[in-house]
């Protein structure tokens, strides 16, 4: 800690520390001459204010926190990139809280607001319970949900119902009637998108007067391998689907692997459509529903910065559109 402090600067410039602080913070009430002297002293001493002291003194941390689940998930990473891009342009720093278990999720959701660790909070792809929401609101910590919904908290969301509808509709338009859906567990309380996309799937089915067949829906852990296993069982059943809507691109990859191993040709014998449009979907030429991953991060983070400037009472909602990306894994049924 041999670093130079505001006192050193004050001494050197022959002024009081208060004055130095004033020029540091761009206060107007400093004479040009004094300001000049102080600035010279700062330069000469290579002084940079200690952020911890600053924080303590003004009760602001100048950092924004982001609670994200499964940092390993490509879509989460993409959103984070959007967040980072706006943070980088701001005066704030970003602290990352990686949630890999329900326990850590609770720990962060409880501690981060209470501890005055951050001036603003971004919660990514984690739907807070009502109880969580109350805590968050009571803490008065400006918070934005990204890809998660709660009526009382401002949020940037994607219309997953429409997205699920678009995916399924595309398959139906192609002529498919036996359409499977492979997804994460529907009853995960923190994952509302899965239920929304499922709803979209059922809506499209209903519209086309295709009865929903529970056997065509498989749910399991998220990830490539579980999806591959689910695809195995789905494709092994008598009267198997001719098309599968995957909850995510990652899962679509698993389905494609299963098909390859089973000698089922895509898209000739099986159509597969994913969701998210992660980079790999482009590499693999997977037909999918694009959601504005990167942009959700950008918008969410900007919204947070706004909220921190001017606290608003009524929660805002920004809804980002989805878009069908036609590629090579869907075709009319054989």
Residue 96, CB-side half-sphere exposure with 13 Å CA sphere: 14
Distance of alpha carbon 12 from alpha carbon 306, whole angstroms: 39
Distances from the Cα of 105 to the Cα of 61, 113, 175, 179, 190, angstroms = 22, 13, 43, 35, 10
CB 189 within 8 Å of CB 218? no
| Binds DNA by CB under 7 A, chosen from 29, 46, 101, 314 | 29
| Residue choice 14, 51, 175, 321 for contact with a second copy (CB under 8 A) | 51
Positive or negative: CA dihedral 309, 310, 316, 319: negative
- Please select the residue that binds a second copy; options are 24, 84, 172, 308, rule is CB under 8 A: 84
Considering only residues 260-319, where is the footprint of a second copy by CB under 8 A? 279-280, 283-284
Q: Which of 167, 165, 147 is nearest to 157 (CA)?
A: 147
Which residue in 46, 57, 101, 239 binds DNA (CB under 7 A)? 57
**What crossing angle do the helices spanning 32-45 and 17-24 adopt, rounded to 10°?**
90
111 interacts with a second copy by CB under 8 A: yes
Which one of DNA, a second copy, none interacts with residue 84, CB within 5 to 8 A by kind?
A: a second copy
**Toward DNA, which CB reaches closer, 53 or 186?**
53
Strand-pairing partners, residue 289, are 275, 324
Rama region for 199: left / alpha / beta (φ>0; ψ in -120 to 50; rest): alpha
Which residue, 27 or 81, is less far from DNA as judged by CB?
A: 27
Query: What is the nearest approach in angstroms of a second copy to the Cβ of residue 197?
Result: 22
Shortest distance (Å) from residue 237 CB to a second copy:
26
Cα–Cα distance between 171 and 200 in angstroms, integer?
13
Asked if 327 interacts with a second copy (CB under 8 A), we say no
Is residue 199 within the footprint of DNA (CB under 7 A)? no
Instruction: Tell me how crowded residue 268 is: count the other CB atoms within 10 A of its CB.
Output: 11
Out of 22, 79, 150, 197, the residue judged to bind DNA by CB under 7 A: 22
Tokens 């139906």 found at = 172
Q: How many CB atoms lie within 10 A of CB 299?
A: 19
Is residue 24 a contact partner of residue 15, using CB atoms and an 8 Å limit? no
Contacting residue, 88, 236, 312, 319, with a second copy by CB under 8 A: 88
Q: In the set 46, 239, 310, 314, which binds a second copy (CB under 8 A)?
A: 46
Kindly tell me which residue out of 39, 49, 139, 210 binds DNA, with binding defined by CB under 7 A.
49
CA distances from 298 to 10, 82, 83, 87, 110 (A): 41, 5, 5, 9, 25
The residue written with tokens 């499977």 in the block is 180
Binding segment for DNA among 46-54, 105-113, 201-209, 263-271 (CB under 7 A)?
46-54
Shortest distance in whole angstroms from residue 264 CB to a second copy: 17
1 binds DNA (CB under 7 A): yes
Q: Which of 84/137 has CB closer to a second copy?
A: 84
Name the residues that contact DNA, by CB under 7 A. 1, 3, 5-7, 14-22, 24-25, 28-31, 33-35, 47, 49-50, 53-54, 56-59
Residue ranges in contact with a second copy by CB under 8 A:
1, 3, 46, 48-53, 55-56, 59, 61, 63, 71-72, 74, 77, 80-81, 84-85, 87-88, 93-96, 98, 100, 104, 111, 114-117, 253, 279-280, 283-284
């Amino acid at each position: 800690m041999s670093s130079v402090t505001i006192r050193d600067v004050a001494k050197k410039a022959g002024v009081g520390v208060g004055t130095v602080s004033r020029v540091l913070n761009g206060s107007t009430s400093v004479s040009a001459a004094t300001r000049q002297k102080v600035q010279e002293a700062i330069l000469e001493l290579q002084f940079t204010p200690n952020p911890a002291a600053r924080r303590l003194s003004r009760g602001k941390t100048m950092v924004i926190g982001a609670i994200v689940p499964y940092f390993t998930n490509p879509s989460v990473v993409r959103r984070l990139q959007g967040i980072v891009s706006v943070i980088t342009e701001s005066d704030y720093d970003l602290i990352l809280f990686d949630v890999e278990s329900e326990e850590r999720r609770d720990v962060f959701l409880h501690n981060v607001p209470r501890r005055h660790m951050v001036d603003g909070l971004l919660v990514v792809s984690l739907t807070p319970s009502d109880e969580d929401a109350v805590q968050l609101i009571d803490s008065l910590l400006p918070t934005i949900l990204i890809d998660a919904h709660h009526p009382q908290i401002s949020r940037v969301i994607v219309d997953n119902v429409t997205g699920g509808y678009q995916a399924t509709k595309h398959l139906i338009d192609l002529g498919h009637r036996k359409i499977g859906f492979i997804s994460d567990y529907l009853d995960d309380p923190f994952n509302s998108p899965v239920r929304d996309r499922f709803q979209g799937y059922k809506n499209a089915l209903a519209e086309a007067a295709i009865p929903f067949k529970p056997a065509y829906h498989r749910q399991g852990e998220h990830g490539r391998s579980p999806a591959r296993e689910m695809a195995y069982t789905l494709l092994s059943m008598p009267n198997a689907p001719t098309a599968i809507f995957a909850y995510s691109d990652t899962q679509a990859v698993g389905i494609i692997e299963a098909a390859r191993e089973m000698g089922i040709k895509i898209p000739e014998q099986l159509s597969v459509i994913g969701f998210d449009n992660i980079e790999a979907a482009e590499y693999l030429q997977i037909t999918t529903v694009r959601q504005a991953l990167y942009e959700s991060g950008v918008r969410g983070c900007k919204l947070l910065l706004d909220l921190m400037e001017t606290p608003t009472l009524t929660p805002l909602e920004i809804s980002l559109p989805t878009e069908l990306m036609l590629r090579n894994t869907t075709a009319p049924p054989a």
